[in-house]
Chain A
Amino acid sequence: DTGVSQDPRHKITKRGQNVTFRCDPISEHNRLYWYRQTLGQGPEFLTYFQNEAQLEKSRLLSDRFSAERPKGSFSTLEIQRTEQGDSAMYLCASSFSSFSYNEQFFGPGTRLTVL
């Protein structure tokens, strides 16, 4: 296991198209997070899962965005009818929930460009 992986690393699409990103967490981690990062900003929380349950969604996550983690392992993030404002780096992170702290391990990100 080499850490959190994301696919694809780069995606260029035209406005109005749908895109889907995949995240594979560290195998024993039960929590998986999605963040979005735009230029000059820190990552912003989008949503997270504990096992297959989606526990929280940010108000940033419009109804064009949907995330799944069907078997509690990998996750997908889909954006429908992409807009230019969706252009950003999409980061995935995973962690093992514990009673003491919550260290999140990040993937390399998927950079989305919407033309």
Chain B
Amino acid sequence: AQRVTQPEKLLSVFKGAPVELKCNYSYSGSPELFWYVQYSRQRLQLLLRHISRESIKGFTADLNKGETSFHLKKPFAQEEDSAMYYCALSGLAGGTSYGKLTFGQGTILTVHP
């Protein structure tokens, strides 16, 4: 079974402060991890994925298989980062993704001026 846990429903920080959104997962195979973001009145969109190991809008996330975590981090939060963030997992087999995503409950990030 696949499971994704985001322990914080709400997270508030001030502009310029570091931010970390936590994500833990449970999966018996090889996971593919993602962070999706939903800004106010917009559709859900991909922020980043662990395979590409890239930084998007200043956010990074490292897959820690030992701790089964994929925390999202940004050293200096901006007001425009305020949004709902979802961590999601998909299974991998032979390099081909299984397809379906299992989402966490989401964390609402509010960045105050």
Stretch with Cβ within 8 A of A (4 or more), from B55-63, B74-82, B90-98: B90-98
CB distance from A95 to the nearest CB of B (A): 8
Of the candidates A56, A102, A106, the one whose C-beta lies within 8 Å of that of B45 is A106
Number of interface residues of A (CB under 8 A): 29
7-38 of chain A: CB within 8 A of chain B: 31, 33, 35
Chain A at the B interface: mostly helix, strand, loop or mixed?
loop
A72 within 8 A of B: no
**A73: interface (CB < 8 Å):** no
Q: Mark B35-68, 1 if CB is under 8 A from A, else 0.
A: 0000000011110010110000000000000000
Q: Which of B43, B97, B106 contacts A109 (CB 8 A)?
A: B43
Chain A residue contacts of B44, Cβ below 8 A: 43, 91, 106
A101 CA / B90 CA spacing, docked (Å): 9
Interface presence of A97 (CB below 8 A): yes
| With A97-B96, A99-B96, A109-B43: A104-B101 Cβ-Cβ less than 8 Å | yes
Q: Across the interface, do A107 and B46 meet the contact criterion of CB distance under 8 Å?
A: no
| Contact call A100/B101, Cβ cutoff below 8 A | no
Chain B min CB distance to A82 (Å) = 24
| 21 sampled A-B residue pairs with Cβ under 8 A | A31-B99, A41-B105, A42-B4, A42-B6, A42-B86, A43-B44, A43-B101, A97-B97, A97-B99, A98-B96, A99-B95, A100-B51, A101-B49, A101-B51, A102-B32, A102-B97, A102-B98, A103-B46, A103-B49, A106-B44, A109-B43
